Amino acid sequence: MEARFRIDYPGFILDVDLRLPEKGITALFGPSGSGKTTVLRCMAGLERATGGFLSIEGQVWQDDERGIFLPTHERPLGLVFQEASLFPHLSVRGNLEYGMKRAGNAGGEGFDAMLDLLGIRALLPRAPDRLSGGERQRVAIARALLTRPRLLLLDEPLAALDMKKKQEILPYLEALREELDIPVLYVSHSPDEVARLADHLALIENGRVAASGPLMETLARLDLGPAFADDAGVVLETTVAAHEADGLARLEFPGGRLYVPGHGKAPGSRLRCRIHASDVSLALNAHGDTSILNALPATVAAVADAVAPGHALVQLQLADGGPLLLARITERSRRALAIAPGLAVVAQVKSVALL
């Protein structure tokens, strides 16, 4: 997918150039007012950029140089906003059938699969005002997907939900990541949502693309620390190796292993986890007399000033070509341990967040 948009607003300029994967979830991440939703609206044809260009799987939806601009109703896309915007006079079934009719899907192809994927079969006879916020969003996503889109746009779909409702819907969004063969653009300013759902990350700041790349690599960049502040950290893709007798689970990944509290995932399952930079300390040698179970051999790859005064952000390369890790340490510790690129250290992971 290739997208270029520029819009000059009074006091704000959107000027983005994106090349994104044709499959998986791309998170458009950034602070409020950075231009994320405007990018989405440009892709939907709801905003008209100057000199704009948008191509999805080789099909051009906009090319101002050639005078091409498909209006929104001619773009095969699904769009879900913060509010589900279901038709109040129709039942859940009626809302879903509307999506199918829009796509000419009179035979209901994919209807049952969508009910199961998003867990909404029992909701079919209900009216929208009889649904919880999380249920409404799941129905809205199902309706959007039943239009057979080539692109799904989700504009902060969890922003209006409380934490309990967010936890209810997140597993269904994870299932979408595994099942869909179309690109999904997910606008969010929540680092936790991005870490759990995204495959690719595009950081938008002040109307421009500050960074874009695979999630794991992009989160480990030192120059993006200010964008995440206290939430700086990395995401690891691990495999559940075993459940230990003492209640811990052993997770393995290239370059190391982690011990975490037991959970319901069976051995062999993939599990994504997040390690905050503030939960990683450094030592020059391994210690047996410590309560920290997770100690990973690593080499200092780079060092930068952290957002917090008097702190440094350290990028670590784990052993055997493993992933990158971030550690936030005090400037005093950096000087005392002579932390510098090339130094062999032990990364002590104090906490692991399972996603």
Task: Check whether 256 has a pLDDT greater than 70.
Answer: yes
- Categorize the per-residue pLDDT at 108 as very low, low, confident or very high, splitting at 50, 70 and 90: low
Task: Check whether 132 has a pLDDT greater than 70.
Answer: yes
Q: Identify the weakest region by mean pLDDT among 94-98, 198-202, 335-339.
A: 94-98
* Mean pLDDT within 167-195: 88
- Categorize the per-residue pLDDT at 106 as very low, low, confident or very high, splitting at 50, 70 and 90: low
Residue type, 226: P
3-state helix, strand, coil in the chain (%, to 5): 30, 35, 35
- Categorize the per-residue pLDDT at 320 as very low, low, confident or very high, splitting at 50, 70 and 90: confident
Q: Specify the pairing of strand 68-69 against strand 324-330.
A: unpaired
Q: Which residues of 252-264 are buried (b: 16+ CB within 10 A; e: fewer)?
A: ebebbebebeeee
Which residues make Cβ contacts (< 8 Å) with residue 11, sequence separation at least 6?
A: none
- Rounded to the nearest 10 degrees, the angle between the axes of helix 163-179 and helix 133-145 is 20
Q: Identify the weakest region by mean pLDDT among 151-155, 168-172, 262-266.
A: 262-266
Instruction: Say what the alpha-carbon torsion angle 139, 35, 192, 349 is, to the nearest 10 degrees.
Output: 160
Q: What per-residue confidence (pLDDT) applies to 99?
A: 81
Q: Rounded to whole angstroms, how far apart are CA atoms 17 and 184?
A: 17
Q: Identify the weakest region by mean pLDDT among 87-101, 106-120, 162-176, 227-241.
A: 106-120
- Residue of 237, 278, 277 lying closest to 258 (CA atoms): 237
Q: What per-residue confidence (pLDDT) applies to 109?
A: 66
Residue type, 8: D
Task: Check whether 55 has a pLDDT greater than 90.
Answer: yes
Q: Calculate what percentage of the chain has a pLDDT beyond 90.
A: 60
Q: What is the mean pLDDT of the chain?
A: 90
pTM of the model: 0.88
Where are the alpha helices (H) located in the chain, listed in sequence order? Answer: 36-44, 92-102, 111-117, 133-145, 163-179, 191-197, 215-219, 225-228, 331-337
CA 329 → CA 173, 243, 304, distances in Å?
35, 32, 11
- Categorize the per-residue pLDDT at 133 as very low, low, confident or very high, splitting at 50, 70 and 90: confident
Q: Which residues of 68-84 are buried (b: 16+ CB within 10 A; e: fewer)?
A: ebeeeeebebbbbbbeb
Which residues partner with 349 through β-bridges? Answer: 280, 294
- Per-residue pLDDT of 189-200, as tens digits, reads 888 889 999 999
Domains of the chain from N-terminus onward? 2-227 (3.40.50.300), 233-354 (2.40.50.100)
- Categorize the per-residue pLDDT at 43 as very low, low, confident or very high, splitting at 50, 70 and 90: very high
The answer to whether 274 and 331 have CB atoms below 8 angstroms apart is no
Q: What per-residue confidence (pLDDT) applies to 198?
A: 94
Task: Check whether 292 has a pLDDT greater than 90.
Answer: no
